[in-house]
Structure 1
Amino acid sequence: MIAVTSHENEASIVDFYEGKSVFITGGTGFLGKVFIEKLLYCCPGLVKIYMLIREKKGLTIKERIDRFVDDSLFDRLKTQRPKDLDKIVLIPGDITAPSLGISQEQENILIEEVSVIIHSAATIKFNAPLEEAWSINVDGTRRILDLCRNMKKVEVFLHISTAYTNINRNVIEEVLYPPPADIKELEKLDKHNVTEKQTMKLLNGFPNTYTFTKSLTEHLVAENCAYMPTIIVRPSVVAAVLEDPIKGWLENWYGATGISVFTAKGLNRVFLGHKNIIVDVIPADYVANLVIIAGARNNKSKELKIYNCCSSGCNPLTIGNLLGAFIDDAIRHKTYAMPLPGWFIFTRYRLVATIVTFIFQVVPAYLADLYRRIIGKKPKYTKLLYLVVQTRVALDFFSSNSWVMKADRMRELYASLSNNDKRMFPCDPTHINWPEYLSDYGAGVRRFLEKRN
Structure 2
Amino acid sequence: MSSVATYYNGKSVLITGATGFMGKVLVEKLLRSSPDVKAVYILVRPKSGQSMQERVVDMVKCKVFDRVREGWPNFHEKIKAINAELTQPNLAICPEDTRELLSEVNIVFHCAATVRFDEPLKHALLLNVMGTQQLLVLARQMHNLEAFIHVSTAYANCNQRHIEEVIYPPPVEPKKLFSLVEWMDESLVQEITPKLIGDWPNTYTFTKALTEYLVQQEKGGLNVAIIRPSIVGASWQEPFPGWIDNFNGTSGFLIAAGKGIIRTVKCNLDAVADIVPVDVAINLILAAGWYTAVHRPKSMLIYNCTTGGINPFCWGEMENYVIATYKRNPLEKAFRIPSANMTSNYLIHQYWTTVSHRVPALLYDLYLRLTGRKPRMMKIFNRLHRTMTLLEYFTSQTWEWSSDNMNMLMNQLSPKDKKLFCFDVRQLHWSEYIENYCVGTKKYLLNEDMAGIPAAKQHLRKLRNIQYAFNTTLLVIIWRVFIARSQMAQNIWYFVVNLCYKFLSYFRASSTLRH
Q: TM-score, normalised by structure 2?
A: 0.82
Q: CA deviation at 1:318?
A: 0.6
Q: Which has the larger radius of gyration?
A: 2
**Aligned match of 2:397:** 401
User: C-alpha offsets along residues 74-126 of structure 1, whole Å, 9 cap, x if unaligned?
Assistant: 11121211222211000001000111010000000000000000011111110
Equivalent position of 1:214 in the other structure:
208
Who is 1:173 aligned against?
Answer: 164
Q: 1:260 aligns with which of 254, 258, 266?
A: 254
Structure 1 residue 255, shift from structure 2 partner: 2.0
Q: Bigger shift: 333-342 or 309-318?
A: 333-342
Q: 1:96 to 1:61 in 2, by over 3 A?
A: closer
Report the Cα offset of residue 381 of structure 1.
Answer: 1.6
Contact preservation (8 Å) 1:129, 1:209: yes
Which residue of structure 1 lines up, in the alignment, with residue 87 of structure 2? 96
Q: Distance in 1 between matches of 2:118 and 2:340?
A: 29
Q: Which runs of 5+ in 1 are unaligned?
A: 1-7
**What residue number does 1:226 align with?**
220
Matches within 5 A, 1:401-440: 401-440=397-436
**Structure 2: gaps spanning 5 or more residues:** 450-515
Q: Which residue of 1 aligns with 2:453?
A: none
1:205 to 194, 199, 206: 199
Structure 1 residues 62, 397: CA separation in 2 closer, same or farther (over 3 Å shift)? closer
**Secondary structure of the corresponding residue to residue 188 of structure 1:** helix
Cα distance between partner residues in 2 of 1:200 and 1:387:
22
The amino acid of 1:432's aligned partner reads L
Distance 1:55 1:340 in 2: 41
How far did 1:341 drift? 2.9
Matches within 5 A, 1:234-245: 234-245=228-239
Give the Cα separation in 2 of the matches to 1:187 and 1:147: 19
In the alignment, what sits opposite 1:4?
none
CA offset at residue 247 of structure 1? 1.1
Paired residue for 2:502? none
1:442 aligns with 2:433: no
**Which residue number corresponds to residue 157 of structure 1?**
148
Matched, 1:342 2:336: no
Q: Secondary structure at the match of 1:223?
A: helix
CA contact (8 A) 1:250 1:445 kept: yes
How far residue 268 of structure 1 moved from its aligned partner, in angstroms, is 2.3
More moved, 24-33 vs 271-280: 271-280
**Which secondary structure does the structure 1 equivalent of 2:384 belong to?**
helix
Q: How does 1:20-419 map to 2 (within 5 A)?
A: 20-55=11-46, 63-190=54-181, 191=184, 192-299=186-293, 300-335=296-331, 337-339=334-336, 341-349=338-346, 353-375=349-371, 378-419=374-415
Alpha-carbon distance in structure 1 between the residues aligned to 2:257 and 2:271: 16
The answer to whether the Cα contact below 8 Å between 1:314 and 1:406 also exists between their aligned partners in 2 is no
Judge conservation of contact 1:162–1:236 (CA < 8 Å) in 2.
Answer: yes
**Cα 1:345/1:75, change in 2 over 3 Å:** closer
Evaluate the alpha carbon distance shift between residue 342 and residue 140 of structure 1 in structure 2; reply closer, same or farther with a 3 A threshold: same
TM-score (norm 1): 0.92
Relative contact order: is structure 1 or structure 2 higher (C-alpha 8 Å, sep ≥ 6)?
1
Q: Which letter maps to 2:315?
A: I
- 1:214 is aligned with what amino acid? K
Bigger CA drift: 19-28 or 354-363? 354-363
CA distance change for structure 1 residues 128 and 56 in 2, over 3 Å: closer, same or farther? closer
Q: What is the alpha-carbon distance in structure 2 between the residues aligned to residue 95 and residue 254 of structure 1?
A: 22
The answer on whether the counterparts of 1:181 and 1:204 sit within 8 Å (CA) in structure 2 is no
Distance 2:229 2:162 in 1: 15
- Return the alpha-carbon distance in structure 2 between the equivalents of residues 444 and 404 of structure 1: 29
Distance 1:171 1:264, change over 3 A: farther
Does the CA contact (< 8 Å) of 1:263 and 1:323 recur in 2? no
Instruction: Quote the Cα distance in structure 2 between the aligned partners of 1:344 and 1:363.
Output: 16
Deviation at 1:384, TM superposition (A): 1.4
Give the distance between the partners of 2:191 and 2:52, measured in 1 at CA.
43
Q: Give percent identity, aligned residues only.
A: 37
Structure 1 position 404, deviation (Å): 1.9
Distance in 2 between residues matched to 1:451 and 1:57, nearest whole Å: 22
**Contact map agreement 1:111 1:150 (CA 8 A) in 2:** yes
C-alpha contact 1:225 1:302 (8 A) present in aligned 2: no
Number of residue-to-residue matches in the alignment = 443
Tell me the distance in 2 between the aligned counterparts of 1:201 and 1:57. 33
Deviations 1:138-168 (A, max 9, x none): 1111000011100000000000000001111
What one-letter code is carried by the residue in structure 1 that aligns with 2:37?
A: L
* CA RMSD after TM alignment: 2.1
Q: CA deviation at 1:452?
A: 1.2
Q: Is the 8 A contact 1:280 1:312 kept in 2?
A: yes
Shift of 1:431: 1.4
Match of 2:9, as an amino acid? Answer: E
